[in-house]
């Protein structure tokens, strides 16, 4: 089973036609103040419609047929910016368009597209849902591109590990590359040792499917170099420091960093941005067998630094370290890594607000602005230098699991920083890649985080 690897699939969007039905998005004040036509107002009052957030009231015509729908936004200033995702779940099948709304048409369409997502690969598909017309004064391709990317990331994360191991992740990676005519190179198995990726090999060598480094190249030679690195731990048992069952339950999502950089790469390639794009994904399973790496081992890294293993469940930073070292060998103009790296990030900021780390003040400012502009939450955290002492080990250059448990997300970022070349414009995103509860624009499950904000920054700096 291969998840979506292109934007060519049945669309939740339609072309605006005279046959499409109108949706009137309204606030409670619109009903209280009579800001509707007489028929619509009378029907809303007769039905007791209060325009609560996400509420839908179907409106009949004089002939008894469906004439449209009222959509409640909730109280002004309190409604979710992507509340229109509810429309994809509540409207009956058919073609619709937004007739009135205080939100921009592009926002409504994007929310609808994200809210229409369903992961139904393992059960009978639900009946076809409604379709929404993208307003004619809106960049329809941009909206479809973003929706497709979000769906791709969710599909990859939601697919269970028995169908999304390193082999399947490589197949999805190749499928994405093939669609956009990108080149792929893979270093796998024991070749990782001879080619200089010892920590990727160590983490993944205990699994049935060999570990590997996936590399994709696309774009214009001589253009600004953009490199994306995504953690591709397809399942994480914790290794010999095994996780308890409750912590292992969602570990199919530990390749969420890979899923998100692949989705970001899809947007970049689909938009034809003038960049020299490189995508690196270390794809492994952190499994248990006689060949598993052990607590107390000291691993060599591609960079030459030695790493003392104080917890085999802190494996993501190990595979990223070799990949980041490799990325820096070509001196990228911008280096981004994304990883479901630490539980500490979730303790600090919760599941919906991913932290990012960078010493590049210009990049940090651009990311903060883009995050607010496109409603893709991000929060900058500090690369606090005094904590670098916590990453030191007794018998090696570094430890992969500092003692004490304090500032776990920060010390993980500081560990990664040791493998990034000085003066590189680099940002690390410690994402959750999972929505624990339903939102208007997203069902619970795998989630895209940070990629719309990143695309906004990259496309602004390098417009097509």
Tens of pLDDT, residues 400-425:
999 988 999 999 999 999 999 999 99
Q: Comparing C-alpha atoms, which of 135, 130, 129 is closest to residue 108? A: 135
* Range in 35-39, 261-265, 363-367, 447-451 with the lowest mean pLDDT: 35-39
CB of 327 within 8 A of CB of 419?
no
- Check pLDDT > 80 for residue 102: yes
What token pair was written down for 107? 């926002």
For residue 9, name the pLDDT band (cuts at 50, 70, 90).
low
317 is catalytic: yes
Catalytic residue among 317, 346, 417, 418: 317
pTM to 2 decimals? 0.96
CA distance linking residue 401 with residue 415, whole number of Å: 10
Neighbours of 173 (CB within 10 A): 27
Find, among 455, 438, 241, the residue nearest to 338 by Cα. Answer: 455
Q: Does position 42 have pLDDT exceeding 90, yes or no? A: no
Looking at every residue in the chain, the average pLDDT score rounds to 94
pLDDT score for 8: 55
Pairwise CA distance, residues 154 & 148, whole Å? 10
Mean pLDDT value across residues 322-340:
98
3 state SS of 133: strand
Confidence (pLDDT) at 32: 82
Question: Could you count the other beta carbons within 10 Å of the beta carbon of residue 452?
Answer: 22
DSSP class of residue 103? Answer: S
Give just the sign of the alpha carbon dihedral 356, 359, 365, 366: negative
Q: How much is the average pLDDT of 257-270?
A: 97
So what's the pLDDT on residue 199? 98
- Of 273, 413, 272, nearest to 342 by C-alpha is 413
Bridging pattern class, strands 355-357 and 232-236 = unpaired
Query: 322: helix, coil or strand?
Result: helix
Question: What CA–CA distance (Å, rounded) separates 253 from 30?
Answer: 43
Residue 338, CA distances (Å) to 67, 169, 220, 227, 331 in order: 46, 16, 24, 11, 19
**What is the structure's pLDDT at 2?**
43
Q: Judge whether residue 139 has pLDDT over 90.
A: yes
Torsion (CA) 159, 161, 164, 167 in degrees, nearest 10:
-170
pLDDT at 61: 87
Catalytic annotation present for 243: yes
Would you say residue 38 has pLDDT above 80? no
Residues 317/402, Cβ–Cβ less than 8 Å: no
Q: Note the pLDDT of residue 3.
A: 46
Residue 5 has pLDDT above 60, yes or no: no
Residue tagged active-site, from 174, 243, 380, 439? 243
Structure token pair of residue 284: 């492994």
Q: What is the mean pLDDT of residues 302-327?
A: 98
pLDDT at 291 over 60: yes
- The larger pLDDT score, comparing residue 288 to residue 19, is at 288
Q: Which of 33-42, 61-70, 184-193 has the highest mean pLDDT?
A: 184-193
208-223 pLDDT tens trace: 999 999 999 999 899 9
Is the model's pLDDT at 196 over the cut of 90?
A: yes
Location of structure tokens 């200033």: 77
Tens digits of residue pLDDT in 423-433: 999 999 999 99
Does the pLDDT of residue 37 top 90, yes or no?
Answer: no
């Amino acid at each position: 089973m291969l998840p979506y690897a292109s934007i060519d699939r049945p669309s939740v969007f339609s072309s605006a036609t005279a046959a499409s039905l109108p949706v009137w998005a309204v606030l409670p004040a619109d009903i209280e103040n009579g800001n509707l036509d007489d028929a619509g107002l009378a029907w809303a009052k007769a039905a007791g419609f209060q325009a609560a957030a996400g509420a839908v009231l179907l409106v009949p015509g004089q002939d008894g047929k469906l004439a449209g729908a009222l959509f409640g936004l909730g109280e002004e200033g309190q409604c979710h910016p992507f509340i229109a995702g509810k429309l994809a779940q509540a409207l009956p099948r058919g073609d619709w368009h937004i007739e009135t709304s205080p939100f921009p048409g592009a926002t409504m369409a994007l929310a609808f597209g994200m809210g229409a997502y369903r992961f139904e690969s393992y059960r009978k598909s639900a009946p076809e849902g409604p379709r929404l017309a993208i307003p004619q004064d809106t960049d329809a391709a941009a909206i479809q591109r973003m929706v497709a990317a979000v769906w791709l990331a969710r599909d990859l994360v939601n697919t269970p590990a028995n169908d999304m191991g390193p082999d399947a992740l490589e197949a999805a990676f190749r499928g994405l590359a093939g669609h956009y005519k990108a080149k792929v190179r893979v270093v796998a198995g024991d070749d990782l040792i001879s080619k200089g990726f010892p920590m990727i090999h160590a983490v993944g060598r205990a699994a049935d499917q060999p570990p590997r480094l996936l590399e994709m190249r696309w774009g214009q030679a001589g253009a600004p170099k953009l490199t994306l690195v995504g953690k591709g731990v397809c399942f994480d048992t914790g290794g010999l420091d095994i996780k308890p069952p409750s912590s292992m339950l969602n570990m199919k999502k530990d390749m969420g960093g890979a899923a998100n950089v692949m989705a970001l790469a899809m947007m970049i390639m689909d938009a034809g941005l003038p960049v020299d794009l490189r995508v690196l994904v270390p794809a492994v399973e952190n499994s248990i067998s006689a060949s598993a790496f052990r607590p107390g081992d000291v691993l060599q890294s591609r960079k030459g630094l030695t790493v003392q293993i104080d917890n085999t469940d802190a494996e993501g930073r190990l595979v990223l370290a070799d990949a980041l070292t490799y990325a820096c060998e070509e001196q990228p103009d911008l280096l981004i890594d994304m990883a479901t790296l630490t539980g500490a990030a979730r303790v600090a900021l919760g599941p919906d607000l991913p932290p990012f780390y960078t010493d590049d003040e210009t990049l940090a400012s651009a990311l903060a602005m883009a995050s607010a502009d496109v409603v893709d939450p991000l929060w900058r955290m500090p690369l606090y230098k005094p904590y670098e002492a916590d990453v030191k080990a007794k018998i090696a250059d570094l430890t992969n699991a500092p003692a004490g448990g304090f500032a776990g997300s920060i010390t993980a970022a500081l560990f990664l920083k040791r493998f990034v070349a000085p003066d590189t414009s680099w940002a690390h995103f410690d994402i959750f890649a999972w929505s624990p509860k339903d939102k208007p624009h997203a069902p619970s499950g795998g989630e895209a985080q940070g990629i719309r904000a990143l695309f906004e920054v990259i496309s602004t700096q390098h417009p097509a």
